[in-house]
Structure 1
Amino acid sequence: MTASRARALHLTVALVATAALVLQTVLVVQGSAVLDETQVPPMATRLGRLVSYFTIQSNLLVAVTSWQLARDPGRDGRWWRVVRLAAVVGITVTGLVHFVLLRPLLHLDGADWAADKLLHMVVPVLAVLVWALVGPRPRSSASTAWWTLAWPLAWLAWTLAVGTVSGWYPYPFLDARENGWGAVAIACVGITVLFLAVVAGARAVDRRLAPAPTGGLRPATRAG
């Protein structure tokens, strides 16, 4: 895969992810439903809750990293590797959790339906596919993998703490008032195991596939 083709693919992901985020933001500003909310909260609350969703954060990471890769498909750096792997892993988990746990709870139509599908299905599939095709890789190491887990663990701790105080949770399976702390703990452990599995899988793929992109770019040194 040449660098020019890699740029085009990364640009496609960047455009789709950005469009999905913009559409969802517009809908939230207009007061459209987010998951199971039945009352429209004040604007500041709506925007604060919007950025609290792991879905939004993972799509944002995908958009930011894809825009940068569209400029330089061979980009590298210690912390860049962590952010890029976090984007790939986060968007993968977003798609899987949505499909298994959240999709049956949603009853959306029109633009809300379109935004939901873009954020939870189209961007995850597209982002992972392009990552597998054009990387950049190799970019994985044991330290990169462990640091990648810092963001979802911090998000989970913050979400549970804020939810305990405010009574609002971005996802129903984290609501201890409705499900009890036992069920919430089981959900957290299950999702943590899922993250570990996806990180391990992503690292295995990164180490086994051929370096990418090629075509005028010097491949990065394979991380240990």
Structure 2
Amino acid sequence: MTPTRARTAHLVVALVATLALVLQTVLVVSGASVLAETAVPPLATRLGRLVSYFTIQSNLLVAVTAWQLWHDPLRDGRWWRPVRLAALVGITVTGLVHFVLLRPLLHLEGLNYVADKLLHMVVPVLAIAVWAAVGPRPRSSWRSAPEVLVWPLLWLAYTLVVGGLSGWYPYPFLDPSGNGWGAVVAACVGITVLVVAVGAAYVALDRRLSAAPRAGHDVSAVGATAE
């Protein structure tokens, strides 16, 4: 697929991820969605909790990198590579954890249901499919892959510290008041193992799949951005 067609594919991902984030934010600001709460906390609290969700952060990373790839489908750079890989790993983990652990717990209706499905299912599927189709590849290496762990580990540490101070946790499996710290530690180890496994899978596929996009005769293709 040529860079011009790749731009179109990345634009779709960027638009859908941005729409999902904007919709969820509007629902939270309006009080129509209070996430895991039964009452409506103050606006500042609602917004702080919104951005504390791994789901929101992973969708934001996908949106940012997709907009960059729409501008330059051959984008590359020393620090851009782990950020792009982190976006792919994060959104994949978001989809998997939601489908296995969280989906049975949610009973949403209307726009809350739409926002939930966009963030947890539509964006993950789109992001993975577009990466498989148009890359960009190759962009990963075993040497830089460990850098992807920085964000999830910082997120876990932040979540546990803030949760310990405030009593609020974005996900029930991280709340020690439910099943105790043993279950929380097991969940943290499980999440870390999942991130490592998904990251390793992306690096392996990145090295095995054909390079993409291919310039071919697309005279409108833009060159890679150096950093």
- Letter of the structure 2 residue corresponding to residue 127 of structure 1: A
State how far apart, in whole Å, the 1-side matches of 2:121 and 2:87 are. 15
Q: Alpha-carbon deviation of 1:178?
A: 1.4
1:113 aligns with 2:113: yes
Please give the root-mean-square deviation of Cα atoms over the aligned residues, in Å. Answer: 1.3
Moved over 6 A (4+): none
Q: Alpha-carbon deviation of 1:219?
A: 9.2
Q: TM-score, normalised by structure 2?
A: 0.94
State how far apart, in whole Å, the 2-side matches of 1:193 and 1:219 are. 36
- Letter of the structure 1 residue corresponding to residue 123 of structure 2: V
> What is the SS of the residue equivalent to 2:214?
coil
| Residues 55/150 of structure 1: CA separation in 2 closer, same or farther (3 Å cut) | same
> Residue 201 of structure 2 corresponds to which residue in structure 1?
201
> What is the SS of the residue equivalent to 2:143?
helix
> Residue 174 of structure 2 corresponds to which residue in structure 1?
174
Q: Alpha-carbon deviation of 1:177?
A: 1.1
> What is the SS of the residue equivalent to 1:188?
helix
State how far apart, in whole Å, the 1-side matches of 2:46 and 2:6 are. 36
**Higher relative contact order (CA closer than 8 Å, sequence separation 6+):** 2
State how far apart, in whole Å, the 1-side matches of 2:107 and 2:34 are. 11
Q: TM-score, normalised by structure 1?
A: 0.95
Q: Residues 145 and 199 of structure 2 are in contact (CA less than 8 Å); yes or no, is this contact kept in structure 1?
A: yes
State how far apart, in whole Å, the 1-side matches of 2:5 and 2:112 are. 32
> Residue 79 of structure 2 corresponds to which residue in structure 1?
79
Farther-moved stretch of structure 1 (45-54 vs 140-149): 140-149
State how far apart, in whole Å, the 1-side matches of 2:158 and 2:148 are. 17
Equivalent pairs counted in the alignment come to: 220
> Residue 66 of structure 2 corresponds to which residue in structure 1?
66
> What is the SS of the residue equivalent to 1:142?
coil
State the identity %. Answer: 74
Q: Where does the alignment leave 5 or more consecutive residues of structure 1 unmatched?
A: none
State how far apart, in whole Å, the 2-side matches of 1:36 and 1:18 are. 22
> Residue 43 of structure 1 corresponds to which residue in structure 2?
43
State how far apart, in whole Å, the 1-side matches of 2:33 and 2:133 are. 35
> What is the SS of the residue equivalent to 1:155?
helix
